[in-house]
Structure 1
Amino acid sequence: MNLTLEELSYYDGREGRRAFAAVDGVIYDLTDSLLWVEGTHRRFLAGRDLTEEFYRCHPGFFVLSRFPVVGYLVE
């Protein structure tokens, strides 16, 4: 599945929608994580490109390897 930023914003984890987030152009499904409730984890929100935030807060991609890749961000 390829999504634009606008399309990705639909997958915000609220009201029963899936919770997706992009990092480095890869879209991950965070829906089943107990840490992402209603599309929110700490101060992060699903449905967005979290590349910048991810690099500030996480030392590596081992965190993302737990989540399924569902697509790629496109222009």
Structure 2
Amino acid sequence: MQEFTLEELKKYNGKNGNPAYIAVNGKVYDVTNNSHWKNGEHHGYEAGNDLTEPLYNKSPHGDKVLSKIKQVGVIKKD
């Protein structure tokens, strides 16, 4: 499993041919080919970021969608 800092995660924003990764609860998921993520964006949120707070506090589906998305890494702990 690859480890990412939050700064490194920003490179994976789904733009200019980069993959689109998001972090939730310290886990990093690849949303590059997810039909709900177009050009690294989904309902105003951008890939390359930790989306834990919006997923749990604003999303109607919560974390149940994560079971369908491939985990590619974890966020490095300081």
Q: TM-score, normalised by structure 2?
A: 0.90
Distance 1:9 1:24 in 2: 16
Residues 70, 3 of structure 1: CA spacing in aligned structure 2 closer, same or farther, 3 A cutoff? same
CA RMSD after TM alignment: 1.1
Where do 4+ consecutive residues of structure 1 move more than 3 Å?
Answer: none
Task: Give 1:64's match in structure 2, choosing from 63, 66, 74.
Answer: 66
Q: Give the letter for the 1:68 counterpart.
A: K
* 1:8-52 deviation per Cα after TM superposition (whole angstroms, max 9, x unaligned): 000000011100000000000000111101100011100000000
Distance 1:71 1:54 in 2: 18
Equivalences for residues 1-75 of structure 1 within 5 A: 1-56=2-57, 57-74=59-76, 75=78
CA contact (8 A) 2:22 2:51 kept: yes
Q: Give the letter for the 1:36 counterpart.
A: W
| Percentage identity across paired residues of the two chains | 41
**What are the ranges of 5 or more consecutive residues in structure 2 without an aligned counterpart?**
none
Aligned residues: 75
Q: TM-score, normalised by structure 1?
A: 0.93
CA contact (8 A) 2:55 2:63 kept: no
**What are the ranges of 5 or more consecutive residues in structure 1 without an aligned counterpart?**
none
